[in-house]
Amino acid sequence: MDYLSWRTVGEAENDLRRELDPETFALVSRAARAAERWHGDQKRPTGEPYTVHLLEALEIMVRGAGVTDGEVLAAVLLHDVVEDTPVTLAEVEAEFGPVVAEYVDWVTKPPAASRKDKRAAKVSYLRRLRDAPEQAIWIKLADRASNVQTLANMPKDFRQRYAAETTIYVMPLAEGHPFFGPWFAAWAGSGAGQGL
């Protein structure tokens, strides 16, 4: 159930070189290096380098869901750059094209002025994803699957809130998908879905 074997871009590239055609590999490798550059020394709440989360989401997409579309895989690696770094959507588009930028745009939460506004904006964003192209939904599902794998390391109140949000808003997006549907069902059935 866990996808945590790619800890560095180099480790991912070693495997991806065998799993992707050369053109797709080149695009994904370029996106991985851009994500590494743009996120810099950013850390996740777990204390790990930010890129570990991006590589987990990529591994889930490739090895779990079996996705080999280069633009989707590039967007998985870049899905947080607009939200969490100074990089703009225009910069993503200039470097990776309009399709990758569109996917990144769909999964980027809008900024909010206050904590209350942040919660409302997040719910609105999660609801809006129902209208997203299926590829953008897959990116969100891979992102969330990565995040819930490390949820046990977070404070209990956050775990419970995040698990509830995942169950209410994200799991319905996975329904009917041959990989993500069963994966999230297994996650919820393990007790993790209650944020325990």
* Positions marked active-site: 83-84
The β-bridge partners of 43 are 49
Instruction: Decide if 78 contacts 100 (C-beta within 8 A).
Output: yes
191 φψ region: left (φ > 0), alpha (ψ -120 to 50), beta (else): left
